Structure 1
Amino acid sequence: MLIVLSPAKTLDYDTPAQTKKITEPALLADSAQLVDRLKELSQKQLKALMGISDDLAELNHDRFQHWESPMPRDAVKQAVLAFKGDVYRGLQADQMTEKQLLYAQDHLRILSGLYGVLRPLDAMLPYRLEMGTPLKNARGKDLYDFWGTRLTELINEQLSANKSRILLNLASQEYFRSLDADRLQADVVSPVFKDEKNGTFKVITVYAKQARGTMASWVIRTRAKTLKKLIQFDEEGYRYDPDSSTPSQPVFLRSS
């Protein structure tokens, strides 16, 4: 089973990593091309493009202006430990053992607007660039055009290396759209997490995000490989609901 996650906007470069193991992103040359394009934008243009505040525009303009390849080792952090936010609060990678992180290295991929596909221990400089950003570039009108089939090809390579029959999609629609679902060489399973509110079960975004991370962590810890094993997921009060599930979209409910 290979897991795909979205990145997070919130980053933590202050907390020391519990491992010294670090690898280089596979598509770093492509990232450098994107940064060269982003360096052409003024702070005002970046603000308008990304729909962010003046402070965030200043911060990210400065990040892009000082972005380097090769990346300086004293400024990077492993991707899975640098990302914070709802999904990564559920993932709790900072509490994983070295053995679990190494397993995650082969069974977890983070889709990224800037880096394309990141392994958990890939080095990453701080950035913000959402996959849906309409950045015109030499390859097209946006980041989906820029990455093309490259991300799908990398995911298929890892599926083959793992002999995985399932791609566990725990990414958002914005990020999963960067993959060509028709070309993926595995069955895509996209779990849905619903919480009870006012007597009915609904997808509550903040809880669903954290549940995605929690499921990813559970899969890594239990080394789940099949759908039969996946539907046994019962962390944080969630339970599999066979009545509303399909093989490609298992539903997990949590009562209030």
Structure 2
Amino acid sequence: MRIIISPAKKMRVDTDTLAWHDLPCMIDRAEVLYDKLASMSYDELKRLWKCNDAIAALNVERLHNSDLRIRLTPAILSYEGIQYQYMAPGVFTDEQLIYVQEHLRILSGLYGVVRPFDGVTPYRLEMQAKLPIEGAKDLYGFWGSAIADQLYQETDCIINLASKEYSVCVSRHQKPGTRFITCVFGEEKDGKVVEKGTLCKMARGEMVRYLAEANAKSPEAMKDFACLNYVFSPAHSDESTYVFLQKKSQDSEE
């Protein structure tokens, strides 16, 4: 079983808390992308990144003063988004860190597939970026089936806690005889399950933590998840989609 999650735009450097173990398994392909970015002008990068001047300046400085092989931070500590805050890897036990290293995989526009203790450097490159390279019109074309191929070499069961921007790199290349289970965190409104972005990110982080604490070996373990007022809904779920609905508090019902 492998759990896939998205990266976060906000990243930090931490070379002291924990040591990184290995380089990402697709580092050679990452360097092709990094060299392409380094060859682009400030204006080209700002358009690619779709960001303001402050963010563009920070990431251009990083691009020209970083190296993908030295002064690295373990990925699990480098990403700082909401999902990672609720996962709270900084307070994982040794056993939980071992668990996520084996089971958790971060999907990245730059690195492809990243293990928690792979060393990374701060970068900005979303998977949906329109970056023409090596005859491909964008990163989906550049990576092709490589991300899915890597994951399915490791397992025949994938738990999808990633956003669609990243999960499609795997779902569109699913291998025969494998399981790909997407977790949905929402609330029921007018007969439909509605997801809210921030709450989903929070729940995804909590789910990773829950699975690590439970030392879960199968996706069925997720059905007992009960954090942030979410509960598994058998009526809304099937073999490829696990739906968790947020219960209304007593205060809102009164």
What's the TM-score once normalised by structure 1's chain length? 0.89
Aligned-pair CA distance for 1:22 = 2.2
Unaligned runs of 5+ in 1: 160-164
Asked whether the equivalents of residues 196 and 255 of structure 1 are also in contact (C-alpha less than 8 Å), the reply is no
- Residue-by-residue CA offset, 1:55-110 (whole Å, 9 max, x unaligned): 111111122222324x22xx311001111111112211111122211221110100
Structure-1 residue corresponding to 2:159: 168
SS in 2 for 1:94: helix
Structure 1 residues 242 and 153, CA gap change in structure 2 (3 angstroms): same
SS in 2 for 1:121: coil
Structure-2 residue corresponding to 1:28: 27
Alignment size in residue pairs: 247
1:143 to 139, 145, 159: 139
Structure-2 residue corresponding to 1:218: 210
Cα-Cα RMSD: 2.1
Question: Take 1:28 and 1:21, find their aligned partners in 2: how far apart are those partners?
Answer: 14
Q: Give runs of ≥4 in structure 1 deviating > 3 Å.
A: 195-201
- Residue-by-residue CA offset, 1:24-55 (whole Å, 9 max, x unaligned): 11111111111111111111111111211111
What letter matches 2:123 in structure 1? Y
What letter matches 1:10 in structure 2? K
Structure-1 residue corresponding to 2:230: 238
Question: Take 2:241 and 2:191, find their aligned partners in 1: how far apart are those partners?
Answer: 22
Unaligned runs of 5+ in 2: 249-254
SS in 1 for 2:113: strand
- Matches of residues 88-237 of structure 1 in structure 2 within 5 Å? 88-159=84-155, 165-179=156-170, 180-183=172-175, 186-195=178-187, 202-237=194-229
Structure-2 residue corresponding to 1:63: 62
Asked whether the equivalents of residues 19 and 73 of structure 2 are also in contact (C-alpha less than 8 Å), the reply is no
What's the TM-score once normalised by structure 2's chain length? 0.90
Structure 1 residues 67 and 16, CA gap change in structure 2 (3 angstroms): closer
